[in-house]
Amino acid sequence: MTVYILRRLAFLAASLLLASVVLFLLLRLLPGDPANALASVGASPEQLAAARQEIGSDRPLPEQFVTWLHSLATFDLGNSFVSTLPVGPEIATRIEVTGPLTLLAFALALLIALPVGFLAAHRANTWYGLILNGVSQLGIAVPVFWVGMILVTVFALHLGVLPAGGFPQDGWADPVEALRSLALPVVTVAVVMSASLIRYVRSASLDVLGSDYLRTARALGSSFGEAVRRHGLRNGAVPVVAVLGIELASTLLGAVVVETVFALPGLGSMLSQAVAQHDYPTIQGVLFVTTLAVLVIGFLADLAQRLIDPRLRSTLSGGKP
């Protein structure tokens, strides 16, 4: 296990380095001069040259890359072109919104998906099994922002029980108020995410329920509930845990989109604003932090998978097919 963790850590570091190369190259090789974004519209060639010098885009690429890596290593993500404020601290305050939103939505999605997915498998041939399956089929096709709009219309505009958007100015100083503004966004993301989770849980449950070992356990006298608890849970958990990392990453992405609907000051609205303004340091910073999060989530999901499934633990390799 230790060897595996070390190998997996090395892979994590390598992927992070690779991700920083991809991020660095994509923004520089694609057409469009970042200096244009810094200098105002209609700037003279001299002003453009000055802007290039200021952000260092007149230097050779390898030199720029080393500078960038060095600043990443010292947690300096540069200053925004637009506000000229440092990007790092801004990202930190934004995470206070996006982080809880993502985690709460993910937890709620799991709370919905585990029982519903199991029920959809256990009752696969009844009418409500079919309905549950149909609803989850619909759920994976619904754009998350449309669900948000519907929920706002119903719960904020017509019933008036929850705020339609925004976040308290003083952040989490008043937790109740902060949670109230997160309630609708969390439900929105959770509803959409649970749809795809239900499908994984359902197919894992179908495998377990149709397995020989479960039938044997029943033949040896276990009750259905006992057989599922003692033999089914751990077996069924393996494929579900395997996708949890990817699902958590897409929850983060759903949060990014939904923030625009609910006017939440999180990473997502920061990113879409920065993209519209060609604010390269901000884009780079936000994408670097989100990629880091996604890669670490994948790392933890792989470890969790090995803790559950002893068969995987014995393989020393990365476990790639």
Partner 1 sequence: MTVKRTTRAAPRRRSVILIAGCVPAGLIVALALVSFFWLPYPLDDTSGGRLSPPGASHLLGTDKLGRDLLSQVMIGARIALESGAGAVAIGGVLGVATGLAAGFANRWVDDTFSALLDVLIAFPTLLLAMLVVAAQSASLGSAIVAIGLAMTAVVARLTRILVKRVLAQDYITAARTSGTSWPRVITGHVLPNIWPTLVVNLALQFGLAVLAEASLSFLGLGAPPPNASWGRMLQEAQATVSTAPYGAVAPGVLLVALVVGVNLIADGLRDTLDPTRRRSS
- Does residue number 68 form part of the binding site for partner 1 (CB under 8 A)? no
- Does residue number 65 form part of the binding site for partner 1 (CB under 8 A)? no
CB 18 to partner 1: min, Å: 5
**Which residue(s) pair with 86 in the sheet?**
79
Residue from 53, 83, 93, 137 in contact with partner 1 (CB under 8 A): 137
Which of the stretches 8-16, 39-47, 69-77, 225-233 binds partner 1 when contact is defined by CB under 8 A?
A: 8-16
CB 174 to partner 1: min, Å: 26
Burial bucket for residue 69 (CB in 10 Å: 0-12, 13-18, 19+): middle
The phi and psi torsions of 56 (rounded to 5 degrees) equal 80, 15
Whole-angstrom CA distances from 312 to 5, 10, 298, 316 are 13, 19, 16, 9
Which of the stretches 42-50, 60-68, 173-181, 205-213 binds partner 1 when contact is defined by CB under 8 A?
A: 205-213
Which of the stretches 71-79, 111-119, 175-183, 206-214 binds partner 1 when contact is defined by CB under 8 A?
A: 206-214
Question: Which of the residues 249 through 278 are near partner 1 (CB under 8 A)?
Answer: 249-250, 252-253, 256-257, 260-261, 271-272, 274-276, 278
- Does residue number 153 form part of the binding site for partner 1 (CB under 8 A)? yes
Tell me how far apart the 2 most distant CA atoms of the chain are, in Å.
86
In this structure, the number of other CB atoms found within 10 A of the CB of residue 111 comes to: 12
- Does residue number 10 form part of the binding site for partner 1 (CB under 8 A)? no
Alpha helix locations (H) across 140-232?
144-151, 175-209, 212-219, 224-227
Residue from 43, 69, 145, 180 in contact with partner 1 (CB under 8 A): 145
Say how far apart CA 23 and CA 201 lie, in whole Å: 34
- Does residue number 4 form part of the binding site for partner 1 (CB under 8 A)? no
